[in-house]
Amino acid sequence: MQQNGHLDAAFAALADPTRRAILAQLVQGEATVNELVAPFDISQPAVSRHLRILEEAGLILRRVDGTRRPCRLSPGALRELDDYLALLRTAMESNDERLDQLLTRTTRPKRKDH
């Protein structure tokens, strides 16, 4: 059940556009809260709250560097999400194939026997 909790937390964290934008910034590399605040029209405490949610979801890591608290993407954080989405993708592709087969069978012209 804990595995589902991680998925729930990750999807909940990713549901917010500001948090997705923060993750996109972190693709460029490690950044402090003040560096992450710059492109947003929100306060530093608001960004800190977003970071806490991302950290609790396991999507980012923070470290202590003197008075700085740089953040970075968590290695492998999306693996569980990717595995889940791959499972859904496989099931949907299988459903599509079955539907195609059914449509092919039902739309073929019927042979007229003389």
Q: Which tens digits make up the pLDDT trace of 50-73?
A: 999 999 999 999 999 888 999 999
Average pLDDT, the chain: 88
CB-based contacts of 53, cutoff 8 Å, min separation 6 = 12, 13, 16, 19
Question: Which pLDDT score is estimated for 1?
Answer: 38
Question: Which pLDDT score is estimated for 45?
Answer: 95
One-letter amino acid at 2 equals Q
Question: Which pLDDT score is estimated for 113?
Answer: 66
Same domain, 91 and 40: no
Phi, psi of 60 (to 5 degrees): -130, 165
Question: Which pLDDT score is estimated for 112?
Answer: 67
Question: Which pLDDT score is estimated for 11?
Answer: 94
pLDDT tens by residue, 81-93: 899 899 999 988 8
Same domain, 22 and 62: yes
114 lies in some domain: no
One-letter amino acid at 23 equals L
Q: Please check whether residue 37 is in contact with residue 71, taking contact to mean a CB–CB distance below 8 angstroms.
A: no
Q: Answer whether 0.85 is exceeded by the pTM.
A: no
Question: Which pLDDT score is estimated for 49?
Answer: 97
Mean pLDDT of 15-26: 96
113 lies in some domain: no
Q: How far apart are CA 35 and CA 72, in angstroms?
A: 12
Q: How far apart are CA 4 and CA 8, in angstroms?
A: 6
How distant is the alpha carbon of residue 95 from its chain centre? Answer: 24
Same domain, 66 and 90: no
Mean pLDDT of 18-39: 95
Contacts by 36-40, CB closer than 8 A, 24 or more apart: 36/71
